[in-house]
Amino acid sequence: MDAEFHLDVALIHHPVVNRNGEIIGSAVTNLDLHDIARAGKTYGVSTYWVVTPYPLQQELAAGIVGHWTEGYGGRVNSDRAAALAIISICASLEEVVDEMTRRYGRSPKIVATSAGGERCGITYAELRRELVDERIPVLLLFGTAWGLAPAVMELADAVLPPIQGPSAFNHLSVRSAASIILDRLLGCREEADQL
């Protein structure tokens, strides 16, 4: 069933912004790898790209992933191995797009996520339709720290609407946001509502 659509997600560690809107690079976070890989595996994501230009951070991420896919962690927890096996580590968004273009025979639709409510231009239902019915390969971008830098937002073909609950508070972790967005796009909600 995973082959019915082609969805990749990328977690960007540079360039992102800090609380003051300045361009920074953020550190890789262990649970960003685990939680988003587990959600990605649940919702049929093909590859979860961990994007950082820093070689030592790439090594750190590769060490964590290796522990769970080839090392001791994976031997005692095969579910975790299956989840973290969807992770690929790379240096830039350009690399991700090039590799997806090679794999899928066309450049992916790049869809950014943001808590800010910039120009949106696509709904969850529309993106689900493009992904599942039209089989358009899609790359979903998530930012660490205080979010994707403007230069990354400009590369996106569309931006999903921010996640809103009944309160005005919108400071979800990127782990929560990624999980919710994948569920809005690909969750089997109908079944759950028709017991």
Q: How far is the CB of 122 from its own copies (least distance, A)?
A: 8
Options 11, 80, 138, 148; binder of its own copies; rule CB under 8 A: 80
Query: In the complex with its own copies, which residue's Cβ is closer, 107 or 176?
Result: 176
Query: In the complex with its own copies, which residue's Cβ is closer, 91 or 153?
Result: 153
Among 72, 55, 58, CA closest to 11: 58
Identify residues 98-127 at the interface with its own copies (CB under 8 A): 120-125
Say what angle helices 30-42 and 55-69 make with each other, to 10 degrees: 50
Query: In the complex with its own copies, which residue's Cβ is closer, 85 or 91?
Result: 85
Options 12, 33, 83, 100; binder of its own copies; rule CB under 8 A: 83
Q: How far is the CB of 110 from its own copies (least distance, A)?
A: 18
54 dihedral zone (left: phi>0; alpha: psi -120 to 50; beta)? beta
Q: Stretches 49-57, 89-97, 98-106, 169-177: which one binds its own copies (CB under 8 A)?
A: 169-177
Query: In the complex with its own copies, which residue's Cβ is closer, 101 or 170?
Result: 170
| 56 forms part of the interface with its own copies (CB under 8 A) | no
Among 150, 153, 140, 148, CA closest to 110: 140
**Per-position b or e across 120-144, b if 16+ CB within 10 A of its CB:** eebeeeebbebbeeeebbbbbbbbb
62 phi/psi in degrees, rounded to 5: -65, -35
Identify residues 12-51 at the interface with its own copies (CB under 8 A): 19, 31, 34-35, 38-39, 41-44
| 180 forms part of the interface with its own copies (CB under 8 A) | yes
| 69 forms part of the interface with its own copies (CB under 8 A) | no
Among 143, 137, 183, CA closest to 159: 143
Q: How far is it, in rounded angstroms, from Cα 195 to Cα 192?
A: 6
Residues forming contacts to its own copies in the complex (CB under 8 A) are 1-2, 4-5, 19, 31, 34-35, 38-39, 41-44, 77, 79-80, 82-83, 120-125, 160-161, 163-167, 169-173, 175-177, 179-180, 182-184, 186-189, 191-195
